[in-house]
Every structure is written in C-alpha cells, then in structure tokens.
Amino acid sequence: MARYTALDDPIVDKVIEGHLQRIVDAITARMKPQSIVLRGSFGRGEGSVMLKEEGLYFISDYEIDVTCNSPFYRSLFADLSKELSAEFGMQVGIRWMRPDCLTADRIGPFTSGPAPKSISLYEFRYGSKILWGEDFISGSLPIDPDQIPLRDGMKLILNRMAESLFYMSLDDNRTDESLVPYHWINKTILACAECLLLHWKEYHYSYEERGRRFARLAVDHLDFMGAQKETMIGLVNRATDFKLRPRTDIYQDNIHDTWNQVIPACDSVFRYLMSQGFDISFENFADYPHRFLNWQAAHSPHRSDISFWQLKLLEVYRAISAHRHPQKASSEFEASDIVYSAVPLLFFGYASEKDSKVLAAARHWLGKLERLEAPSTNQKIEWDYLRQVTTKFWKVYCY
C-alpha cells in the first residue's frame, strides 16, 4: 500500500504529494494557520485513483482542514477551493476548523452544549495526516467508535441518498465513462454497510478493515434481509473493491440497472435500522416522514425555547444566503429534518413505479420550506421535480 492510496505505485504518490504541496503553499502564502490537515480517503491512505492511458483519474477529492482561531478565512478557503479544483482537474475542499476541535469534541464553529461522538470526529482523529504545522491529533484523547450513536450513521445514509439524487435522472439507461454516478452508487451501499457495522459495534475508520469486518459478520447478522443477504454481501464486497482499486470493469451495467440492484438492498437495511435504532416502522414510505419527524422532535437537543429559536434564525440565514425565501420558519420541525424526511421517498422512488401517495407526502413536507410549483399529473415528471427540489433544500439546510 502506498502513502495515499491502496495502489502500490510511487508515481501516484508523487503526483499527490505535488498537489498537496501546492495546496499548503497556496494557504500559507495568504495566512498562517496552526495546522493544515489532510482528512478523508487520502488522509487514511485509501484515496480512489484510477490509472488510465491518458494519465491519473481522481475519483476521491482532497479534503483539507485548516485550523486557526479566526473563522473569517472561510471566504478565502472557498476561493482557494475553486482555484485549486480548476488547476488540478479534481475536487479540492478546504474548510476552517477550530484548533481545539478534538479536545472540545467539536468540529464546527459553535461550542455551547455537549457534542456527541460522531463518525466525522472519530475518522478525523484516526484517519488524517498533518501536512503542515502543529500535530495536535496524535496526542489527543482516544475516541471509542462504540460510543458513536446509531443516529449519526443513519444521517450518513440519508446524506448519501441525498447526494445520489443529484445523479439520478429519468434517462439513466446508459453507462457513464466518468464513473461519477457509479461513485455515488458505491458510496451509498458502503454507507449502509458502515451503519450496520456501527449497529454491530464493529465500526472502523479504514475502508479496507470495514470490508473485512463486514464480510466476517454479515454471514450471521444479515438474516433479516432474507433472500437479499447474499446480494448485500456481494454488493459491499464490490463497493469496497471499487473504492480501494477502482476499475472500469467493476461496474459494467448501465446506471439504471445498477441502481435497481442496489436500491432494494438499501431499502431492506434502511427499514431494519430504523426499526432497531429508532423504533420506527412503516409499510408505505408515505407514512415515514411524520413518524421520523415526530421521533426527531422528541429527541432533539435543540428543544429548549432559546436554542430552538436560535436554530430557526440560523435556518432563515441559510435560506437568505442561498437566495431562497423560507415560507414557514416557525415550523415545529427543524428544516434539516424536513429535508431528511423527504429524501428516502425520492431515493427509493427511483427504482419503482411512482407512487402518487409517496410523492404527495414528499410534496406536503417540502412545501413547509418553500412554495412549490403546481404538481404534475405525470408521476415521472413530478418525481423528477421533487428530486431537484430536495437536492436544493439539502444543500441549503443539511450540507
């Protein structure tokens, strides 16, 4: 294994190291941070890079955290992200981070109230590399992945579903040489496996180790999937292989047929985990949003009057910043939860006949956030419209 990928190829490492040095130079030329950290797949040594005749094709992106006391460098980091992404021909994401993010158990800018252990914090602690400055990671307190709540894993699944909706369309009877849709298909099935490992108290920050653990445990733990058990094992094995050593021959079916393989397995896992971790069960997805929202409201850490209205003000700010007009900021439910209540309805609706009750339920809840266009009598057009609305709201309230 090389330093940044599972590929044993020094040329790949040399190219990546050139990119990373360019990123460090670009940041330090404009400000002096405490540290610059490489996180994500490349930070764990498991970045997805494909070797092609014309050169290297990067599927994973560079995730860079810059620690400093002032959050007011965010606009600089956003500009640098765009500049370097264009220069490298791949996605570069640079974000501000609190210098005490690990000791305060918090990655974001707010410090009030206790912050639960999360997948993001755990993977940052064990799956990152210091590129420049002070090493504040290796000496920090350990984080036990068994303490990460299942709801954090379910949020990961919902986010992967939402991101996948960007790449779902009514005309997917095609292959895609860019592999971008397959990348999100891959990330979605892996998110299901990761959440199951979290539920089984066997989570790990490494993709390769997660793959080994899932293969070992799935034989005795996937009986709830019935006939889909062997399918799920095969899907996770393929997804792990694609993540670590991507090749064009791993996903050969067109996008629509590939989703049709993956979505039923995701459906089974999603229902199982909702029943196990949240005591939420449903026959039809039209019943899911209300049950999910009521559970979230009953268990939200923001239910005190002060923090709830602070959250609502933040929602209004996000909407206005995105040039959107929030219709009902006074809703009793958090905007992000409303989005997450609609995401599964559109995601699982992709691979089946469009259910008018499910689409009506999605429209009802999305309409709490903004005035929507009149519904279409063509169910496929209605699904596609609501898919686009959901992804827009996800970027505003959840991203």
Q: What is the pLDDT of residue 385?
A: 97
Q: Which residue has the higher pLDDT, 8 or 269?
A: 269
Q: What is the pLDDT of residue 103?
A: 73
Q: What is the pLDDT of residue 71?
A: 87
Alpha-carbon gap, residue 70 to 222, rounded angstroms: 47
The answer to whether residue 3 is domain-embedded is: no
Q: Which of 249, 281, 313 is the last residue of a domain?
A: 281
- CA-wise closest residue to 196 among 163, 166, 179, 218: 218
**Residue 273 in contact with residue 150, Cβ under 8 Å?**
yes
pLDDT tens string 29-62? 999 999 999 999 999 999 999 998 888 999 999 9
pLDDT class of 352 with cuts at 50, 70, 90:
confident
Four-residue CA torsion sign, 145, 271, 335, 78 = positive
Domain that holds residue 376: 282-399
Angle between helices 255-278 and 150-165 (to 10 degrees): 160
Tell me the average pLDDT of the chain: 90
- CA-wise closest residue to 76 among 137, 43, 29, 37: 29
Same domain, 177 and 270: yes
Alpha-carbon gap, residue 106 to 128, rounded angstroms: 16
Same domain, 138 and 173: no
Q: What is the pLDDT of residue 7?
A: 93
User: Is residue 306 scored above 50 in pLDDT?
Assistant: no
Its pTM stands at: 0.91
Q: Which residue has the higher pLDDT, 358 or 104?
A: 358
Alpha-carbon gap, residue 306 to 171, rounded angstroms: 47
Q: Which of 228, 255, 281 is the last residue of a domain?
A: 281
Same domain, 381 and 253: no
The answer to whether residue 382 is domain-embedded is: yes
**Residue 136 in contact with residue 102, Cβ under 8 Å?**
yes
26-40, 91-105, 385-399: least confidently modelled range:
91-105
Same domain, 161 and 137: no
The three-class DSSP label of residue 256 is: helix
Alpha-carbon gap, residue 189 to 269, rounded angstroms: 10
Same domain, 162 and 112: no
Q: What is the pLDDT of residue 304?
A: 54
Same domain, 273 and 360: no
pLDDT class of 214 with cuts at 50, 70, 90:
very high
pLDDT tens string 99-112? 888 876 555 555 55
The answer to whether residue 5 is domain-embedded is: no
Q: Provide mean pLDDT across the span 205-227.
A: 97
Same domain, 114 and 168: no
Same domain, 114 and 164: no
Same domain, 138 and 207: no
Q: What is the pLDDT of residue 268?
A: 98
Same domain, 262 and 321: no
| CA distances from residue 95 to 22, 72, 109, 136, 292 in whole angstroms, order as listed | 16, 11, 11, 17, 31
The answer to whether residue 243 is domain-embedded is: yes
The answer to whether residue 366 is domain-embedded is: yes
The answer to whether residue 1 is domain-embedded is: no
pLDDT class of 321 with cuts at 50, 70, 90:
low
Q: What is the pLDDT of residue 45?
A: 96
The answer to whether residue 4 is domain-embedded is: no
Same domain, 127 and 162: no
The domain tally of the chain equals 3
Q: What is the pLDDT of residue 327?
A: 54
The H or E element that residue 49 is part of is strand 49-52
Q: Which of 265, 281, 297 is the last residue of a domain?
A: 281
Same domain, 220 and 160: yes
pLDDT tens string 253-304? 999 999 999 999 999 999 999 999 999 999 999 999 999 999 998 887 655 5
